[in-house]
Amino acid sequence: MILVNLVFKDWKWPIIEIIIKSFSCVIEALGRSACLSHLYGYSIREMGDLKSLVSAAQRIVMSIDASDEAEAHKLAQIAKDSDAGYIKMGLELSSATSWRWCSQLAEEFDLEWIADAKLSDIPNTVAATVRNFKKLDLPPFGITVHIAGGSEAIRLAQEIAGTTKILGVTILTSLSDEETKKIYGVAAAQKVLDLAKMAAEAGLAGIVCSAQEIRAIRDDNDTKDLFLMVPGTRSLGTAHGDQARVTTPTEAIKAGADLLVIGRQVTQSDNPAQAFNNLLTEIEGALNNNGDL
């Protein structure tokens, strides 16, 4: 971009200026590790023909589920070597180390990261916590906050977060439909949609939901443009573990997921690198056969 500006700095024709600026923006965007849709805050379907530039690897959020620093380093290295879009660190790792350490790990490997803090508290406490995240040497790309904590808490969180995306947690993917009915009095699909509407109204960038609710969210005018981060997917033949509302990565991508959180399918594999590559092949197949995404 610097070279372009030096060569054309004296050119004043409007059309030339437009071409130069457009070319410069493309070069800048392609030069960064994050995919284009995430750089500019749009969901992938809003990017039109640029969606072809979003690779399968950049759709993946590698979950660093570890209580040991050495194990966390190993998983971060796999994410880096595989060109994963992001890593996600949550309560397990942060309670064994600290959120500052998590930030430093992401910075060490030059990876965007998501703080899976699942904040759920009074607005003042949530706001103060978000401020603390913003003070880290490498602030997270996103912070998870429970939508059920209330409209004011999530609205204030996004206001303070600025360019950091507040991702509203709907219903944990470990909760079955039956258990969700016991807690909330309605089926998971309905409750997730209700919470998604709250998130959209509060101005959140996106939400966390299971793949089973994606189509309903995409079909609703109030929530169709939300950024969707989807955990709890499992490839065919992979154990579900403690996940209840599960689909395959292929089904999630075809339904309209923006990011897939991948954890134990890779991290607990005997060969994590190979497991990651197998997953990429599956996602690439879904992307190549999904003209509506």
* Residues involved in catalysis: 118
Residues in the chain: 293
Inter-residue contact 149 to 179 (CB < 8 Å): no
Rounded-to-integer distance, Cα 73 and Cα 260, Å: 21
- Span between the terminal Cα atoms of the chain, in Å: 31
User: Partners of 165 in the beta sheet?
Assistant: 142
What is the sign, positive or negative, of the torsion defined by CA atoms of 16, 19, 22, 23?
Answer: negative
* Residue appearing with tokens 């955990």: 231
For 36, the 3-state DSSP assignment is: helix
Residue 100 CB: number of other CB atoms within 10 A? 14
Closest CA to 199 of 240, 145, 162: 145
CA nearest to 233, candidates 191, 290, 186, 282:
282
CA dist list (Å): 236 to 73, 88, 174, 187? 28, 23, 18, 25
Nearest to 212 by CA among 167, 255, 179: 255
